């Protein structure tokens, strides 16, 4: 298990490495220019990809017409997110949408992210809530076996599903 954890950390660092020391007068804990560089590398791998104005996410269209947005960054807090916007704008049940989120996450991020979502779902280690608008939120409950110590939130709305990892 320890070697899996070390391997996952190395994979995460290779895609989304973030310096832990401030590199500018901004007072940010994480290296902002390095984060922008990593997102530019991700965008370069996907024709038609667009980096948002804040430089914290990359969006591109998938073959089925859906849109994938991968975000990462932060100043004092660090986070990574994956958002899959449905092609037809029609909501699907969580049981069908979550495997699709896992698949695109596995394809575009280090495998540990997809494994985290799959493990939370398979072991039912989450709190589930439904908003008045009908969106579903899953909050992962961490145990000592998780590769991630920080929270995972999954939100399913009528138009998309999003997974967010926040390191506070």
Query: Any idea how long the chain is?
Result: 168
Kind and range of the H or E element at 122? helix 111-122
Say if residue 63 is exposed, middle or buried (CB neighbours under 10 Å; 0-12, 13-18, 19+). exposed
Kind and range of the H or E element at 8? helix 2-15
User: Residue 106: which domain range?
Assistant: 2-167
Kind and range of the H or E element at 57? strand 57-61
Lowest mean pLDDT among 81-85, 94-98, 158-162: 94-98
The proportion of the chain whose per-residue pLDDT surpasses 70, expressed as a percent, equals 77
- Model confidence pLDDT, tens digit, residues 107-152: 988 888 899 899 888 888 888 999 998 899 998 877 666 666 678 8
Distance CA 142, CA 164 (A): 14
- Model confidence pLDDT, tens digit, residues 23-78: 445 677 777 788 788 889 989 999 899 999 888 899 999 988 899 999 988 777 77
- Please report the beta strands in 4-144, taking only residues with DSSP state E, as ranges in sequence order: 50-51, 57-61, 67-73, 78-85, 126-130, 136-140
* Residue indicated by tokens 């986070």: 79
Distance CA 13, CA 147 (A): 13
The whole model's pTM is what? 0.78
Distance CA 33, CA 62 (A): 27
Residue 48 zone, left/alpha/beta (φ > 0; ψ -120 to 50; rest): left
The count of domains in the chain is: 1
């Amino acid at each position: 298990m320890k070697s899996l954890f070390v391997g996952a950390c190395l994979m995460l660092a290779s895609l989304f490495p973030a310096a832990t020391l401030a590199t500018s007068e901004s007072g940010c804990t994480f290296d902002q220019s390095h984060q922008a560089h990593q997102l530019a590398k991700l965008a370069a791998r996907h024709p038609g990809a667009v980096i948002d104005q804040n430089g914290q996410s990359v969006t591109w269209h998938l073959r089925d017409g859906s849109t994938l947005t991968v975000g990462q960054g932060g100043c004092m807090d660090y986070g990574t997110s994956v958002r899959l916007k449905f092609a037809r704008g029609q909501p699907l049940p969580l049981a069908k949408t979550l495997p699709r989120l896992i698949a695109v996450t596995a394809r575009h991020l280090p495998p540990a992210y997809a494994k985290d979502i799959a493990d939370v779902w398979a072991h039912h280690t989450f709190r589930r809530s439904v908003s008045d608008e009908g969106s579903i939120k899953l909050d992962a409950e961490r145990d000592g076996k998780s590769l991630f110590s920080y929270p995972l939130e999954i939100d399913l709305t009528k138009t998309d599903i999003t997974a967010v990892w926040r390191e506070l």
